[in-house]
Chains A and B, each alone.
Chain A
């Protein structure tokens, strides 16, 4: 087919020439200090004093942080796997690969709680380990399997099993509301934490929000 010959030749030429080859680059910049990352989180088993800078929660400068102007307030959000409806007063922030959604939950007097929704591709150590991880974050002692039933509330909805907790730090300054939702081989965490002045008044909204959690429509 003579008519197709030019096309074939051109295609081969473009295919060969169209690939951009990545290259190693070298340059000099004024000396930079490592970001001041502070200490590793208490939950991270950071017992090794040799950790030079340690590590901590990604600073606000992390690429995904910050509220997009386009989604300053998003009353309904949906992550792959689960969907939910958040109160309109919660301000959505950008999500990440594992962090499916983040909301700033405003409370009275300017106090703000942080609500994070994360999904993890396993059972993450099981319910007891996760509940105790949360208790440790508000300086509460761990519970054993027998004591677990006394600190959680369980219910099912839309084919999901939810386990919710409400923990306050011994001083009463910090509070955490959370829920663990196993789904599709993974585990979803809904955690509202922050000053008790912000989290306490938001409990009714948080519980109503949890009752909207459902499998997302494919």
Chain B
């Protein structure tokens, strides 16, 4: 074996690596637990565990520096360490079946966590009674949607992730007859009427309905709280072959009255190149080849309780698939989610006053792995301790006169 290859093997096989990684894991979990105060559960997951490195910005730097190994790094190395140790160090004998099974379970747990982090997708379907939807919306991610609405039957959507707006570089898509140039972007904002902006900013927009274009976004700190949504805003210029078409203000919510519910910003329509378009900044949508219609919301509380104690939250929905195979009613309620075509719909929020229901839509192809892993570990431990127990009992019986 060549020296470098041997170095690699010795490095990954070593028990010292296991100890160091476990120690780093303990520090990471401790640090992340403390950071939860400021970042919340979601923020901590992203920064510390679903990352190869914990990134930190120093001073006014826009470049984040890696300051500590993240969950993927530590977990990934532990996984390789475990595999390498079994390949080079452990010899299989039937008496070690338990250890092999338990270690296999741990390896599977690490793989399952990695796959969950990579594949799990959470979104929400929000609708009122009678409303039909064929998409769920992300709570965290947003997109710039430019839709060709020329065909009255089909919308041709070009969705640009928020991250590309944040980069600020011109965006070109073969599906669009113009370039998209982000002129301003903020990941969280309060977009206000000019009277409320008080000269803090002025609008850059020259397109869109005049009432909307005069609003101005005031950047706000990004929130990581579990139940708070960041509201991005941007000024986007569209640039055709013959020069700029114009600049639009894009935001999700507008504030005209600080003491009232914010205004939802509607898509803005325009014509270009003989086609009709609409443009909006919206939560990232995940479309499905079927639609759900909310038929009825039920919100029961135990009678006589004050504050009211919830007894039952339920949404009755009709599933209608595009291929015509399904057209049926389903009841979704607490602890009784709808599992359909790889997605799980949980009852999440409800507002009986407005007949509103919010379903949490979770896609996680690897959801069974942790269960299998735990069974393997338990089985391995039972076998291992069982062998010792029977061995001990056998020796004790043999030693009796």
B52 touches A134 (CB 8 A): no
Report yes or no: A44 in contact with B158, Cβ–Cβ below 8 A: no
Min CB gap B174→A, angstroms: 8
A95 & B228 in contact (Cβ 8 Å cutoff)? yes
CA distance A65 to B264 in the complex (A): 12
Q: Which of B26-34, B95-103, B149-157, B381-389 contacts A (4 or more CB under 8 A)?
A: B149-157
Q: Is the CB of B220 within 8 A of A97?
A: yes
Q: How large is the interface on B (under 10, 10 to 19, 20 to 34, 35 or more residues)?
A: 35 or more
Q: Which residues of B contact A3 (CB under 8 A)?
A: 7, 11
| Residue B247 at the chain A interface, CB threshold 8 Å | no
Complex interface residues of chain A between 179 and 208 (CB less than 8 A to chain B): 187, 189, 191
**Across the interface, do A48 and B308 meet the contact criterion of CB distance under 8 Å?**
no
Check B231–A124 contact: CB distance below 8 A.
no
CB contact under 8 A between A97 and B231, given known A35-B264, A58-B261, A69-B310: yes
| Chain A residues positioned under 8 Å from B256 (CB to CB) | 40-41, 43-45
B195 and chain A: residue at smallest CB distance: A125
Give 1 or 0 for each of B187-205: 1 = CB within 8 Å of chain A CB: 0101001011010100000
A14–B71 CA distance with the chains assembled, in angstroms: 12
Is B164 touching A28 in the complex (CB atoms < 8 A)? Answer: no
- Quick check: is A161 within 8 A (CB to CB) of the other chain? no
Closest to B355 in A: A60
The CA of A32 and the CA of B164, in the complex, are separated in Å by 25
> 1/0 per position for A1-39, CB-CB distance to B under 8 A?
011011100110011001000111111111110110100
CB distance from A195 to the nearest CB of B (A): 13
- Chain B residue numbers with a CB within 8 Å of A98 are 190, 255, 258, 262
What number of residue pairs across chains A and B have CB atoms under 8 A from each other? Answer: 256
Query: B263, A56: Cβ atoms under 8 Å?
Result: yes
Tell me if B159 is interfacial: C-beta within 8 Å of chain A: yes
- Of the 9-residue stretches A85-93, A147-155, A166-174, A209-217, which lies at the interface with chain B? A85-93
Closest to A43 in B: B257
- Give the Cβ gap from A73 to chain B, nearest Cβ, in Å: 3
Q: Smallest CB-CB separation from A7: which chain B residue?
A: B11
Contact, CB under 8 Å: B210 / A2: no
Residue of A nearest to B268 (CB): A52
Residues in B neighbouring A55, C-beta threshold 8 A: 211-212, 254, 263-266
Q: Is A51 an interface residue (CB 8 A)?
A: yes
Selected contact of A189 from candidates B77, B193, B198, B258, CB within 8 Å: B258
A41 to B261, CA, bound (A): 11
B260 contacts A116, C-beta separation under 8 Å: yes
Q: Which of B131-139, B367-375, B392-400 contacts A (4 or more CB under 8 A)?
A: B131-139
B260 touches A41 (CB 8 A): yes
Enumerate chain A residues within 8 angstroms of B355, measured Cβ to Cβ. 60
CB pair B223–A73 under 8 Å, yes or no, is no
A40 partner residues in chain B, CB cutoff 8 A:
211, 256, 263
Q: How far is the CA of A38 from the CA of B335 in the complex (A)?
A: 37
Q: Which of B69, B134, B257, B351 contacts A93 (CB 8 A)?
A: B351
- Chain A, interface size category, equals 35 or more
Whether a CB of chain B sits under 8 angstroms from the CB of A139 is no
Kindly provide the distance from the CB of B286 to the nearest chain A CB, expressed in whole angstroms.
Answer: 11
The answer for the CA separation of A91 and B350 in the assembled complex, in Å, is 12
Which A residues touch B229, using CB under 8 A? 63-64, 96-97
Contact A51 B11, beta carbon cutoff 8 Å: no
Smallest beta-carbon distance A47→chain B, Å: 8
| Complex Cα spacing A125 to B257, Å | 11
Contact mask for chain B residues 57-80; partner A; CB cutoff 8 A; 1 contact, 0 none: 000000000100100110011000
Distance A124 CA – B256 CA, assembled complex (angstroms): 11
Residues of A within 8 A of B1 (CB): none
Asked if A68 is at the interface of the complex by the 8 Å CB criterion, the answer is yes
**Any A CB within 8 A of the CB of B237:** no
A26 touches B157 (CB 8 A): yes
Shortest CB-to-CB span from A93 to chain B, Å, is 7
B113 at the A interface (CB under 8 A): no
Contacts of A37 in B (CB 8 A): 264, 266
10 smallest A-B Cβ distances: which pairs?
Answer: A73-B307, A44-B256, A66-B349, A60-B354, A189-B259, A22-B161, A22-B163, A57-B261, A58-B264, A66-B351
Q: List 25 A-B contacts (CB under 8 A).
A: A3-B7, A3-B11, A6-B7, A6-B12, A7-B11, A14-B76, A15-B52, A24-B160, A26-B175, A29-B154, A32-B155, A41-B260, A44-B211, A45-B211, A54-B209, A55-B212, A56-B263, A57-B260, A58-B262, A61-B131, A64-B229, A66-B357, A72-B307, A75-B307, A129-B195
- A-B contact sample (12 more), CB < 8 A, given A14-B72, A44-B193: A14-B73, A23-B161, A28-B156, A31-B154, A32-B155, A41-B256, A57-B262, A62-B253, A72-B301, A97-B229, A123-B198, A124-B196
